[in-house]
Structure formats: C-alpha cells, structure tokens
Amino acid sequence: MIPSSIVKCGGSLLDWPELPTALATWLDTISGPVAIIVGGGKVVDALRALHEIHQTGEESSHWRALRAMDITATVLCEKMPYTRPWKGVMPPWLSGTHSTACQRWVVQPSNWAEGLALSGMDTHLPRSWATSSDSLALQMAHSWKCTRLFLLKSATPTSASDWGANAKAHYVDSVFPNLVRSIETPPEIICINLRNWPVDATTI
C-alpha cells in the first residue's frame, strides 16, 4: 500500500499571510502522496450566520458549506507551489492519470462528497453543521486507506488521548470522536499547531 496522507488545513489559518510558505515548508518534511482539505474559515462562518438569521435547512447549509470549502481550496492551491487541484472521488495517486512529479493535491470536497452520494457510497456523516472539515478529512483518510491524518490548526489539542475532551474544547467537531471509534483501524492522527511548528506537535 502506498504510504499516503490526508492533511486538513484549518480555516483558522487562512487569515495568516505566512500560511502558503509555512505549509509548503512543513509539507517538505513528510513523504508520500498528500491530499489537502482546506477548512472554510470566515467564508463558512458567513454562511453559518446566514443560516442562523434565515433558518435555512441543515442539509442545504451543509452542501453550501462544502462548496464554500471548494473556494478556499482553490485560493490555497493557487498560492501553493507543486500542488494540483483534485475533484475526484478516488485518491488522485490511484487515478492512473497523474504525473509522478505531482505528489500533492488540494481536494475540492463537495465534488468528493457528491460523487460518493451519486455512486451510492455515501460518507455516512451527518449532513449538518455538526460535521466540519475535521470529520470530512478523517472520513476521506479512512475511505482512501491513508496511513496518516494531519490536523493543521492554530491551536493545540486539550488532550493527548481523549477525542471527546478535544471536541468539548472545540478543537475538533462533535462528530469526530464517534467517527474515530467507528473505524476499526483509524489512521495515525497527528495534530500540528502550524503557527507554532515545529515546537507544537501531538500524536493521538
């Protein structure tokens, strides 16, 4: 099996001008193919505010949030060297169409989730605000049989062993702990405070 990784780049990092440089530097320290999921940041926060004002449906808001993450993905991809966008359902490194020179892709998650739904292979994640890019990244890592999931954020996890405690502290979403427990062999999960890297890294 190809040793591959999912990297979740938190939306809280999007307001950091040094993000592209810091992320590229960090990516150079890991090996194997990498798929990057970018959080929605303030773009999704604006959608959440509209949802609260106008009481839009949870499921429709979920899909809008995924499409907003497509936007943040394209923004980061444009600023990242040696990365390519990816819209497919299957892992890009197994597509048979990529160049071996490209080992980094920024995923547009709405295409991935919609593709799974259309193919009958749903993500089985709640289509609501309870599901964030954290759980999407974990589900993708499991679906694509990745060996590692990196959570890159602007914070440090509260606990080095308890995902429930980390969810209560809003480090990950409320769906994440149960999703970890439901996976027989979850990927290795490494938490990085990218603003404080290389000092701040936790494996859970």
Domain ranges in the chain are 5-203
pLDDT classification of 183: cutoffs 50, 70, 90: very high
Task: Summarize pLDDT for 86-125 with one digit per residue, the tens.
Answer: 998 888 888 765 555 678 999 999 988 888 777 766 667 8
Q: Would you call 29 helix, strand, or coil by DSSP?
A: coil
Q: Which helix (H) or strand (E) holds 151?
A: strand 148-153
pLDDT classification of 203: cutoffs 50, 70, 90: confident
Q: What share of the chain is helix, strand, coil (3-state, %, to 5)?
A: 45, 15, 40
Q: Which helix (H) or strand (E) holds 7?
A: strand 5-9
pTM: 0.93
Protein fold of 5-203:
Carbamate kinase (3.40.1160)
Portion of the chain with pLDDT greater than 70, in percent: 94
Whether residue 109 has a cis bond before it, omega within 30° of 0: no
Phi, psi of 33 (to 5 degrees): -65, 145
